[in-house]
Amino acid sequence: MNAPAKRPKPSISQDSLTNFGFKRAFGNAASGYILMFDGVGNESGRRIYIPGGSLGMHFAKLVKMQGEHTEQLILSRLSRLRSCAGGFQSYSNKRDAFEHVDIVENLRISYIIRQDTVGGLGPGIYITDIEFVNHAKGHTPGLYHVNMVEGKWIVSDVPEDKIETEHVAVNGMSRSINEAAEIVPNIIAGGYSSDAESIRDKGYTLAYNPRPLYTRGTEWTTPEEKTSSADFMRNSLPKAFTALR
């Protein structure tokens, strides 16, 4: 009786990597991947390290066994980490300036940036986790019009440059703009009960200032926060109210 055939371990072809700008790759799912970029005459860009073992196997599986779209998604995003890791589109750990998370569609890539050799690990980007997650669409700071649509409060996709409603609210400590959109009308109606019908008919303006992301027991600076100022409310609201005069 023949022994059952072993399922081949997933691996990544050199052609697949070079199509996305990776000129060289060393290692495998068991030992770990080192993705490198070659410039003219010498190496350019950060090295990207993916540890071996379960994470290396998971990475190879995501690239090779989840379809062509996922393969393109992962490798394209990883190739951009060479120059944009920890940038404006990254979530950054407020307790550890070297730890970051990048989101691309439903893929979350966690990594640490090392500038110097520490504990035998050289400079580069060290991937610590790759997983599929669902993230709500982010909103930049601004003045959003909120309307009642089929029994739900719906926030406009883009901010407006002025206030055109009778009522204005600030998101405060709400965890997201959509949560604020649902809570604020009840607060307004509680303070101005005679205007409750007007709020439902005409909507209101929500002055939104993004909060940090709290996950994995720490606080992360979001991409929305990186593109805004802590003084957003102080600077923007007076201008908006002045325009009403």
Residue 183: burial class (beta carbons within 10 Å; 0-12, 13-18, 19+): middle
| pLDDT confidence of residue 8 | 39
Among 15-19, 45-49, 161-165, the range with the most confident prediction by mean pLDDT is: 161-165
The domain limits of the chain are 14-132, 142-242
pTM score, whole prediction:
0.52
Tens-digit pLDDT profile for residues 87-111: 766 777 777 777 888 876 556 788 8
Q: How many residues does the chain have?
A: 245
Average pLDDT estimate for 14-24: 57
Q: Is 158 helix (H, G, I), strand (E, B) or coil?
A: coil
| pLDDT confidence of residue 40 | 41
**Rounded-to-10 torsion of CA 49, 51, 52, 54:** -130
Give CA–CA dist 155/148, Å, rounded: 9
The residue behind tokens 């959003």 is: 144
Give CA–CA dist 237/127, Å, rounded: 41
Q: Which residues pair with 90 in a beta bridge?
A: 102
Q: Is the separation of the CB atoms in 83 and 102 below 8 Å? A: no
Tens-digit pLDDT profile for residues 192-244: 777 778 888 889 998 887 666 655 556 666 666 665 555 555 556 656 655 55
Within 13 Å and on the Cβ side, how many CA atoms surround 219? 7
The Cα-based distances of 110 to 35, 139, 222 in angstroms read 16, 22, 14
Q: Is the separation of the CB atoms in 161 and 132 below 8 Å? A: no
What fold characterizes domain 14-132? YaeB-like fold (3.30.2310)
Give CA–CA dist 108/112, Å, rounded: 14
